[in-house]
A and B are shown apart, each in its own frame.
Chain A
Amino acid sequence: MKNRIVILAGFAGGLALAAVAPAKVHPKAAEVSKTVQALAPNQAALALFAGKCAKCHGFRGDGRGKLAGLMDPKPTNFTDPAWQKKWTDAQILDAITYGGKSAKEKIGKKMPSFSERPKLTNTQIESLLPVVRSFSPRKDGGK
């Protein structure tokens, strides 16, 4: 009887621990979360980036998406501080809107024009700006 109580207690305790134990996370997840939380709390924009952009630019914005190996030149690395410093918000929006057809910005021809196909609204395009900025920690949040 005593053994059964011990066993049951241990089982219950294990269940309790499992219930409160944090879910397994990738070692880098917390770091990414903090950066994104500070600048881009828009869940919809994050999902949009994951669905439309990450396959080339990577989920970390480092230009190492799954399809990047097929492309030349490689997709832009948003974690590059020099790139973040050089490109203005207006230039980033122009690049997303017109892609490789952009007459103003010199970017790879393979970058889609998100005002055409696949078509995003202006609001959706603008919502991606904080996500792009979030991949490199910034104090001012943009120019």
Chain B
Amino acid sequence: MMNRREGSVSWLGSLFGAVLLLLVCAPRRAAAVPSFSRQTGMSCSFCHTVFPGLTAEGRKFKLLGYVTSADSGDASTWKQSAPASGPSVQASGGDSGDDEGQGSLPILASAPIGASIQISDNFLARPANDSSGNPVSWTASSGSDGMGVAQLPTAVSLFYAGRIASKAGAFIQATYDSDSGVFHLDSMTDVRYADEAQVDGTDLIWGLTANSAPTMQDVWNTVPMWSFPYLTSTISPMAAAGTRLDDMGAAGNEGGLGAYAYWNDLLYTEIAGYRSTPQGGGSYLAIQGVAPYWRVALQHGWDDDVQSLEVGTLGFAESTYPSGVLPQGPTDQFTDLAFDTQYQYVGDSNLVTGHAIFIHENQDRGYSFGNGASSNSADNLQSFRVDGSYYYHRKVGFTIGYFDTEGSTDALLYPQMAFMGSADNSPLTRGLVYELNYVPAVNTKLTLQYRSYLDFNGSSGNYDGAGRNAEDNNTLMAIAWLGY
């Protein structure tokens, strides 16, 4: 008969594995969408450094609701007709709408649809086999030991990316994921209404955003939903512990509504609230009620935004019902506070970017501690990431990134377990990501990425107590991304 502690460990082990499985199966980040280029009539480099990195113009395009278009305008513009005679500069493109005086419904002539495909090959440093020699599945469907996992395709995505109406637009992504074999709505959804105003002679952009996860709506490439590395291997084991800001979006069951303002090309502020759907009972952490999110960022550009610097802070606070628990009774509470900074140099030939973010999380384990799922009533977790990139003519470049997750030791949260556990009961995971990129065409990106672990789940050597070392999880990935 299993005693309460063994039962708790078994249950917790299942939860641990499920969370890790979710992390390694998490949808890949979206990259650039050529439909934006078609809509604006501008090259991708107008809004992107190297996608998905955004320039100052790209950040404004997103904040203005994805609506800016070279061939459209407000209703009065669309009601213009060509001059009766003589040469003149005429607007090109067309759309439906009445002639003057009748009022018109400004509808795009064509929907801003895009698509992308990813193809990859992945290699793990040391096979992930159990004592019988059978491969341990890092992902749900690969069943592979990780030695040479080719995925054709890795993922196929469809996008609605662009203008809906004169002041409303969207970025919506749906993806077929080869690991899960499922076509699903991605956790990369952002629908906006935005407008501009003048405040004492200064420019103000304001808007509303309905989005799928905190930081999806952000415009700096420091935040978890948009940070390096932008593509990750499906077979690379990630840290079992992640802050809520890092992990939000992995389950894909939350959504939020926010309001933001960007004043004088200088100050960005936002407040939003998030809920889980449905509430409780599923295989995910369900948010109790509404979880607040806030964001403040200062940006300054100089030399016509050839250089820019951003410093900011963001935060998120939630109470959650653990996996499989109905929405009642005590909860675990998480409070994240983060600080970030970004530097860009966008020259004609040389492009340099740097990002850094630090997240501190306080964990009040009211439910978990009372149910034998955590050893401590309160824990903490910190996440730090920094990366730097250089590109030559936006054609070829490299990025180096460092990641570090560490926090309280907890024997029940981080139990010893082969491959995915921690002999030290510690969440410590840190390492480096090296990436080489070649961009032969504006809609094509070839990437060679190597992820190396200095520590994994608590230590560098024998981290799981079964003889596996952190460096055994090092992963090499070659991936091609093509967009339309």
Encode A67-92 as 1/0 by CB contact (under 8 A) with B: 10111110000000000000000000
In the complex, A137 has a CB within 8 A of chain B: no
CB contacts (< 8 Å) of A24 on chain B: these are 81, 99-100
> How many residues on the B side are at the interface (Cβ–Cβ under 8 A)?
39
A36 & B88 in contact (Cβ 8 Å cutoff): yes
A25 & B81 in contact (Cβ 8 Å cutoff): yes
Task: Name A110's contact: one of B60, B61, B304 (CB within 8 Å).
Answer: B304
* CA distance in complex: A41, B89 (Å): 11
Q: Which of B85-100 contact A (CB under 8 A)?
A: 85-92, 99-100
In the complex, B201 has a CB within 8 A of chain A: no
* CA distance in complex: A46, B88 (Å): 7
In the complex, A20 has a CB within 8 A of chain B: no
Contacts A24-B81, A59-B91; is A72 near B301 (CB within 8 Å)? yes
Q: Which of B20-75 contact A (CB under 8 A)?
A: 40-42, 46-47, 56-57, 60-61, 64, 68-73
CB contacts (< 8 Å) of B99 on chain A: these are 24
Q: Which residue of chain B has the shortest Cβ distance to A43 in the bound complex?
A: B87
Most chain A beta-carbon contacts within 10 A, residue among B69, B70, B87: B87
Contacts A70-B68, A71-B57; is A59 near B84 (CB within 8 Å)? no
B86 & A70 in contact (Cβ 8 Å cutoff): no
Q: Which of A103-133 contact B (CB under 8 A)?
A: 108-110, 131
A66 & B70 in contact (Cβ 8 Å cutoff): yes
* CA distance in complex: A66, B166 (Å): 12
CB contacts (< 8 Å) of A71 on chain B: these are 57
In the complex, B303 has a CB within 8 A of chain A: yes
Contacts A55-B41, A71-B57; is A34 near B86 (CB within 8 Å)? yes
* CA distance in complex: A16, B84 (Å): 18
Task: Name B87's contact: one of A30, A36, A101 (CB within 8 Å).
Answer: A36
A29 & B88 in contact (Cβ 8 Å cutoff): yes
In the complex, B130 has a CB within 8 A of chain A: no
B89 & A25 in contact (Cβ 8 Å cutoff): no
In the complex, A93 has a CB within 8 A of chain B: no
Number of A-B contacts (CB under 8 A): 102
Q: Which of B76-135 contact A (CB under 8 A)?
A: 80-92, 99-100
Encode A36-55 as 1/0 by CB contact (under 8 A) with B: 11001111001001110011
Contacts A24-B99, A54-B89, A55-B42; is A66 near B83 (CB within 8 Å)? no
In the complex, B305 has a CB within 8 A of chain A: yes
B64 & A70 in contact (Cβ 8 Å cutoff): yes
In the complex, B265 has a CB within 8 A of chain A: yes
Q: Which residue of chain A has the shortest Cβ distance to B92 in the bound complex?
A: A50
B60 & A70 in contact (Cβ 8 Å cutoff): yes
In the complex, B6 has a CB within 8 A of chain A: no
Distance (whole angstroms) from the CB of B416 to the closest CB of chain A:
53
Contacts A32-B88, A51-B92, A101-B348; is A69 near B68 (CB within 8 Å)? yes
Q: Which residue of chain B has the shortest Cβ distance to A48 in the bound complex?
A: B89
CB contacts (< 8 Å) of A14 on chain B: these are none
CB contacts (< 8 Å) of A34 on chain B: these are 86
A72 & B304 in contact (Cβ 8 Å cutoff): yes
CB contacts (< 8 Å) of A54 on chain B: these are 89, 91
CB contacts (< 8 Å) of A131 on chain B: these are 89
Task: Name B88's contact: one of A22, A23, A33, A109 (CB within 8 Å).
Answer: A33
A72 & B56 in contact (Cβ 8 Å cutoff): yes
CB contacts (< 8 Å) of B68 on chain A: these are 66-67, 69-70
CB contacts (< 8 Å) of A70 on chain B: these are 47, 57, 60-61, 64, 68
* CA distance in complex: A34, B83 (Å): 11
Q: Which residue of chain B has the shortest Cβ distance to A108 in the bound complex?
A: B304
CB contacts (< 8 Å) of A46 on chain B: these are 87-89
Distance (whole angstroms) from the CB of A128 to the closest CB of chain B:
11
A37 & B89 in contact (Cβ 8 Å cutoff): no
A33 & B86 in contact (Cβ 8 Å cutoff): yes
* CA distance in complex: A42, B80 (Å): 23
Task: Name A29's contact: one of B61, B83, B196, B305 (CB within 8 Å).
Answer: B83
A-B contact pairs, 29 of them (CB 8 A): A23-B82, A24-B81, A24-B100, A25-B81, A25-B83, A29-B81, A29-B83, A29-B84, A36-B87, A37-B86, A37-B87, A50-B92, A51-B92, A54-B91, A55-B40, A55-B70, A66-B68, A67-B42, A67-B46, A67-B57, A67-B70, A70-B60, A72-B56, A72-B265, A100-B348, A101-B348, A109-B305, A110-B305, A131-B89
Given A24-B100, A42-B87, A108-B304, 7 further pairs, Cβ under 8 A: A33-B86, A43-B87, A50-B89, A60-B89, A66-B68, A66-B72, A109-B306
